[in-house]
Structure 1
Amino acid sequence: MIEFKHVNKKYPNGFEALKDIDLTIGQGEFVAIIGLSGAGKSTLIRTINRMHDITNGTLTVDGTDVMQLHGKSLRAFRRRIGMIFQSFNLVTRTTVIKNVLTAFVPELPWWRAALGIFTKAEKTAALEALDKVGILDKAFVRADQLSGGQQQRVALARTLAQNPQIILADEPVASLDPVTAKQVMDDFQRINRDMRITILINIHHVDLALQYATRVIGIRAGRVVYDGPAGEVDGAVLDAIYQDRKEATA
């Protein structure tokens, strides 16, 4: 379970990205976070794995105070949380399976990591992860020969190889065409349903958020202005979330 209690985040330049956030996210939820660019969506999910530190308040994951973690304990904690980015973050000049195998590198002895030596069990786990996202047949293809959607699936397989309890996704389909975006969202939905992994997606596509997520959190200017079932999001809710855009164009 993820709990935000009166969480604030202020950057060194004085910008307040998060303001008094109170949220509880249970294990196995599929949550979409929506709002304008700059509203605080990315900051919110990146505080969960300490990519960004909160300024004050309390943020706990399964009872662990995230801000109390340092060094080895922080690295171990992050192993439980997968992260998917818009830009895929693959080594494009090597094969798909080698990209997935990098999920094991943080736990390897330095000499195995340096030489790229992986056990049969690790290779099997990498292939199983690729199978779960439907691209097992691409295992020995160079990553730069794949489409954008296939590359995002490789990134998702790499995350699954970590055996995470939580997956954070920061605009994972923003650079994909509508058909491919839907295919990737199908993968997230299936993983959430079948593996009961908690998924939090920061997403600009409101239609996809409402179609796939079971819960929607709307953020405006660093504050939560909606938190509820996706099926209850209506025009009034969207007006509240995107009010700043309406005012700018009025």
Structure 2
Amino acid sequence: MIKFKDVNKIYPNGVTALKNVNLTIDQGEFVAIIGLSGAGKSTLIRCINRMHEINEGTLTVNDVNVGQLSGKQIRSFRRKIGMIFQSFNLVTRTSVINNVLISSVPELSWWRKFVGLFPKEKKVEALEALDKVGILDKAYNRVDQLSGGQQQRVALARTIAQNPDIILADEPVASLDPVTAKVVMDDFKRINQETNMSILINIHHVELALEYADRVIGIRQGEVVYDGKSEDVSQDVLDQIYGSADNVPKMDEPEEAEV
């Protein structure tokens, strides 16, 4: 369970990214976070694994107070939270399977880290993760030989191999064409249903949010202005989140820089 209680986040430049956020997200939920660029979507999910520090309030994950963690505690805590980025964050000059195996590096003994030797069971887990996202046949290809959609699926496989309780995805399909974006979202949905991992996706495209997520959280200027079932999102709700229908992003419109 993820719980925000009266959470505020103010950046050093004075920008208030989150205002009095109160949310509870249960294990296994598939949640899409929508809103205008700069509304605070990325900040919200990046506070969960403490990539960003909150200024006020309390944020707990599985009864752990995130703000009270330090040093090794933070690293151990983050092992149970997978993070996927728009830019994939892969090592493009090595193989797909090596990128997936990176997720197991923290669990290796020092000498295995030194020589880069992974146990057989970790290789099996990496191959199984690639199979789950439909690119097992690319396991020994270099990453820079793959399309953008395939690279994002490698990033998802790497996260699955980490065996987290929660997956956070920060605009994972914003740089993909509409057809490829749906393929990747299909993978997210299937993983959510098969593993009961909680998945929170900060997503630019409202159509995808409504099609794939069970729950939608709408943010406007750092405040949660909608929290409910995707099927209950009406035009009035979208107007509340985006200001007007003209501001609602279309599938062929790129995402701008987010706060």
TM-score by length of 2: 0.93
Query: Any idea what SS the aligned residue of 1:163 has?
Result: coil
Q: How does 1:77-226 map to 2 (within 5 A)?
A: 77-226=77-226
Identity %: 72
Number of residue pairs matched by the alignment: 247
Deviation at 1:244, TM superposition (A): 7.6
Over the residues paired in the alignment, what is the CA RMSD in angstroms? 1.2
Check whether the contact 2:85–2:172 (CA below 8 A) recurs between aligned residues.
yes
Q: Are residues 1:70 and 2:84 paired?
A: no
Deviation at 1:243, TM superposition (A): 1.2
> Which residue of structure 2 lines up, in the alignment, with residue 31 of structure 1?
31
Check whether the contact 2:84–2:167 (CA below 8 A) recurs between aligned residues.
yes
Query: Alpha-carbon deviations, 1:21-76, whole Å to 9, x = none?
Result: 00000000000000000000000000000000100100000111001111111111
Check whether the contact 2:238–2:244 (CA below 8 A) recurs between aligned residues.
no
**Residues in 2 aligned to 1:110 and 1:52: alpha-carbon distance in whole angstroms:** 29
Alignment gaps of 5+ in structure 2:
248-259
> Which residue of structure 1 lines up, in the alignment, with residue 48 of structure 2?
48
TM-score by length of 1: 0.97
Deviation at 1:163, TM superposition (A): 0.3
**Residues in 2 aligned to 1:216 and 1:134: alpha-carbon distance in whole angstroms:** 27
> Which residue of structure 2 lines up, in the alignment, with residue 237 of structure 1?
237
**Residues in 2 aligned to 1:118 and 1:246: alpha-carbon distance in whole angstroms:** 52
**Residues in 1 aligned to 2:185 and 2:28: alpha-carbon distance in whole angstroms:** 16
Alignment gaps of 5+ in structure 1:
none
Deviation at 1:194, TM superposition (A): 0.9
Letter in 2 for 1:34: I
**Residues in 1 aligned to 2:32 and 2:208: alpha-carbon distance in whole angstroms:** 9
